[in-house]
Structure 1
Amino acid sequence: MRFSVYQESHIGGRKVNQDRMGYSFTRDALLLLLADGMGGHIQGDAAATIALQTIASLFQRNADPYVKKPERFLEESFFAAHREIHRYRAINNLPETPRTTIVACLIQHNTAFWAHCGDSRLYWMRNGQILMRTRDHSRIETLIAQGKVDASERDTHPERNKLFNCLGAPSMPIVEISRNASLQAGDVMLLCSDGLWSILGDHQLAHVLQNNTIVRAVPQLVNSAASIAGKTSDNVTALAMMWEGGDGVDDPNSITTNVLPLGAVTTTIEAPRHADLESADLYDDNDIERAIEEIRNAIEKSSKVTGKG
């Protein structure tokens, strides 16, 4: 694999930055992660950190050197992160459970898979065009999908900030999994928090990423969003990856994974908070299997109501 990747975060006008981002890769698999700890609940930064640590830890265990069942891995690692956040609340005797949104992208064999809970977004771009983006798990998106609200009200509607899905809530999260995406050289994957996309339009995101390297585009977008929002700015975070495919001419900004030893993992995400994750069995948990069936049924019901695919 060969790709370039860059990430940046800005605290904006907040006292604490509750956004978290990072990536991990082996010779044959790349995992991109971004989480946005939810305001209005305690310790959103802790929830975001735990989510990244848990999912990255499970990736390191299962990417040998690639993940055998990518969609199932994304779904079950989200469930594992959700449980870890609840365990953190119990261990620390907190009055409520911290919560976070999450978006993840797993790339291997020239194919991308992604999943999300909440309103942290993923954009798949090619030649300045947005091929696909995640749909927010928010009240306003549901109303728009049902035809009850016009899309033009997306940025002004009083219920635009209400989410119905995240990690850390009392109920199990709905993990929405993408269809498989076949990547071409030059494709860009952008993961970002709502502090970015709520300020800069989709066309602006695509334009900047088409006309700049991601090393320049990411800080430009992050700083622009924070500057426009000013003192009211939310945390602004972006993680972008440009796919370059197989081996070829070396680029100083590119990462070529075939130089990694078999079994090696490179990561920007710190070690997991809880050591007993090592004893967790990702694929043989009956509770997870039941939860998966419940979530799939919920997604099917939601699709019938909202028109989501």
Structure 2
Amino acid sequence: MAITIDACAAQHQGDRKEQQDRVAILPHARRKGVALAVVADGMGGHTGGALAAEQVVHTAKNNLDHFAPAEESPHCMLENSMREAHTMIKASRFMNEKDPHSTAVMLLLQPGRITWAHCGDSRLYHFRGKQLLTRTVDHSYVEHLVSIGKITAEQALTHPNRNVLLTSLGGQEEPKFDFSDTADLQAGDAFVLCSDGLWAYFDDGEMATLVADNSARNACEILIDTARKRAAGEGDNLSLAIIKLVEAVSSKPTPPAGFVPRAKT
């Protein structure tokens, strides 16, 4: 069964004065079937966060353009992208006297395999139909409290320290990265990358259903519109990228019922 890709990236400024998120779906310059999706949520005062997030996307694009699967593993390519972005963001402190940081979540698509990595609390979800197969675990204070049983996942959504990160790109400490991949791919799989300005308003089941029941473009529109309504005038920047694996439609016409081909004489 042939599989094709339905993908879309979208964002909204929310109720903030500035858009500090960045999102992109980038095709490889030379290799068919290789692409990179990136979501970065910048932090660090006026313009500082936007510059940090922009650096994440810029560095990822440069690394993708030079990515040669025969010479470099997907894991290394993603790690190098984030480490280089971290170094560049940290160096920019000395030039603009700001305190820039950024989260990052990246997905590298290759024929038959998808690899991803993240730093901070921007997330990746892997759905199969309307079922959640896995999602990234936030590098955040409240996620740590959930993991040790101090609070529930529901309590984490309204915890006063829910925006406190344990790691990010551009900070004084070396950033922490987590990686995963899968070669178990089939039509009906969907991957959602998003900033906390979006995922904070949905449980896993609702997001899975909205993505499964709509095209990537329509799902982006519905998720953003719903998050904006639920934010009630206090919404953060929100960004997302959706990559859906769908069964390719055959270009061959289907013969009518009862049709019997005749051999040429």
Q: TM-score range by the shorter chain?
A: 0.7 to 0.9
SS in 2 for 1:173: coil
CA distance in 2 between partners of 1:173 and 1:187 (Å): 30
For 1:45, the aligned partner's letter is A
Q: Which amino acid aligns with 1:249?
A: S
- Confirm or deny that 1:69 pairs with 2:76: no
Measured in 2, the distance between the counterparts of 1:42 and 1:17 equals 9
The residue correspondences of 1:130-169 to structure 2 (distance < 5 A) are 130-169=132-171
Please list the CA deviations of residues 140-183 of structure 1 after superposition, one character each: whole Å capped at 9, or x if unmatched: 11111112223331112222111011101011111111143421
Distance verdict in 2 for CA 1:46–1:179, change over 3 Å: same
Relative to 1, partners in 2 of residues 1:4 and 1:50: Cα closer, same or farther, differing over 3 Å? Answer: same
1:182 aligned partner, one-letter code = D
Distance 1:204 1:219 in 2: 15
Task: Tell me the distance in 1 between the aligned counterparts of 2:24 and 2:115.
Answer: 17
Q: Is the 8 A contact 2:113 2:181 kept in 1?
A: no
3-state SS of the aligned residue for 2:125? strand
Shift of 1:230: 2.4
Give the counterpart letter for 2:250 in structure 1.
V
Which ranges in structure 2 are unaligned for 5 or more consecutive residues?
A: 252-265
Answer 1 or 2: which has greater helix percent. Answer: 1
In the aligned structure 1, how far is the partner of 2:90 from the partner of 2:226?
A: 36
CA deviations on 1:57-89 (whole Å, 9 max, x unpaired) are: 11111146x773011111121101101112222
Structure 1 letter corresponding to 2:38: L
Partner amino acid, structure 2, of 1:80: E
Query: What letter corresponds to residue 73 of structure 1 in structure 2?
Result: M
**Map of 2:250 onto structure 1:** 249
Deviation track 1:238-276 (CA, whole Å, cap 9, x = no partner) reads 11011247x7636xxxxxxxxxxxxxxxxxxxxxxxxxx
Return the letter of the residue paired with 1:103. V
Q: Secondary structure at the match of 1:170?
A: coil
Q: Which residue of 1 aligns with 2:63?
A: 58
Letter in 2 for 1:101: T
What SS is found at the alignment partner of 1:55?
helix
Aligned residue among 79, 83, 97 for 2:83: 79
Larger Rg: 2
Q: CA RMSD in A?
A: 2.0
- Is the 2:20–2:47 Cα contact (8 Å) retained in structure 1? no
* Structure 1 residue 186: Cα displacement: 2.2
Ranges in structure 1 where 5+ consecutive residues have no aligned partner: 251-309
Partner Cα distance (1:40, 1:184) in 2: 42
Task: State how far apart, in whole Å, the 2-side matches of 1:153 and 1:165 are.
Answer: 21
In structure 2, C-alpha distance between the alignment counterparts of 1:168 and 1:68, rounded to whole Å: 25
The answer to which of 143-152 and 230-239 deviates more is: 143-152
Q: Per-residue deviation at 1:40?
A: 5.5
* Preserved CA contact (<8 Å) 2:198 2:223: yes
Residues 28-70 of structure 1: CA deviation (Å, up to 9, x unaligned):
3121100011255861010000111001111111146x77301
Task: Give the match for residue 172 of structure 1.
Answer: 174
